[in-house]
Amino acid sequence: MVPHTTTELRGLRDELYEALFKRPRHTRPFKCAKYVKSFLNMAISYKFATINDLKETSEKVKWMLRDITSSFKELVASLPWMDLETKEATWKKASAIKSFIGYPKWLLEDGELEKFYKHVQINDGQFLESLVSIKAAEVRTILESVGEPPNNQSLGALNYGAIGSILGHELTHAFDIEGKEYDGEGRKISWWSDEMTKQYNDRAQCFVKQYDKFAFNKINTVNGTLTLAENIADNGGVREALHAYRHYVKRNGEEPYLPGLEHYTHEQLFFLAFANVWCEKTTESDEIMSLGDVHSPNKFRVLGTLGNSPEFADAWNCPRKTKMNPENKCILW
């Protein structure tokens, strides 16, 4: 509750975080915007939904996800190390995954947003009291749900590279080092034989060794074991998204070139769009802090994933045995 109480207590907390993590303080406007985004997210969603009609965008994303799921199944079919029984179980689980795209239909129905916030009481001048009301309503909603079944100028190459790689990332999590232990109904029932488990783990270990070598300097290195699940998802997501984009092109025909960027092929643009998602400007302290996360630092998410992609090397004509086209690539899904 400290961040939501007095200026003095917030200051003490900020000092602690600065000392421990070298984390800079955020301004008051930044914090206020963050709290509104976090705690009144459906109200903000309503505002955007009424400004932009997301029906067309949502439909595009649904098609993209269909392509990515189909591509994942095709990639599974092509895996030489996996037996047919495990492939069939993998296809079945992939088909069982549900998607939630855009915003819920009820959001734009008259009175529904008010109903959603009916238990929230915002009192002017009483920030802490208002926040407790918001959190209480949030917890109530979670408890009530326990036990229930759970634009035209854009290029497909850019969409599949950016959004598609993230869709593929999330799909692949169902089959990462942890997700693979759950069946198609979410039960922790392993459906892998001892031999298939060994084959899987051998390939997963390739990622561990590869990402262990990434480092900002001699001391600050990536932990390939800590980041394994996310690295598997990153690598699988890009492979699936690229194959999905190729399905998109077969269905819709070749795309026009971008004005002024005609010298880039569409598959080059695909990989540029993927890399651009993770583009950032960091400080040394930011980089060191990022090593404690289950995700690899953004820089290595790009270098690792693209270095493992034969399609990337082909698209950009990377010479063999170079940094971005190493001889030994890690490929699981």
In whole angstroms, give the CA distance from residue 165 to residue 311: 14
Residue 307 CB burial class (10 angstroms; 0-12, 13-18, ≥19): buried
- Is residue 76 a contact partner of residue 87, using CB atoms and an 8 Å limit? yes
- Is residue 312 a contact partner of residue 323, using CB atoms and an 8 Å limit? no
Which one of the listed residues 67, 176, 230, 234 is annotated catalytic?
A: 234
Q: Hey, which residues does 322 pair with through a beta bridge?
A: 325
Q: Hey, which residues does 221 pair with through a beta bridge?
A: 215
Read off the amino acid at residue 77: A
Is residue 170 among the annotated active site residues? yes
Tell me the DSSP string of 113-138: HHHHTTT----TT-HHHHHHHHHHHH
Supply φ then ψ for residue 215, to 5 degrees: -155, 150
Nearest CA to 157 out of 55, 307, 276 is that of 276
Supply φ then ψ for residue 125, to 5 degrees: 85, 0
Residue 114's Cβ-side half-sphere holds a number of Cα atoms within 13 Å equal to 3
Which one of the listed residues 14, 112, 170, 212 is annotated catalytic?
A: 170
Residue 68's Cβ-side half-sphere holds a number of Cα atoms within 13 Å equal to 29
Is residue 83 among the annotated active site residues? no
Residues labelled catalytic = 170, 234
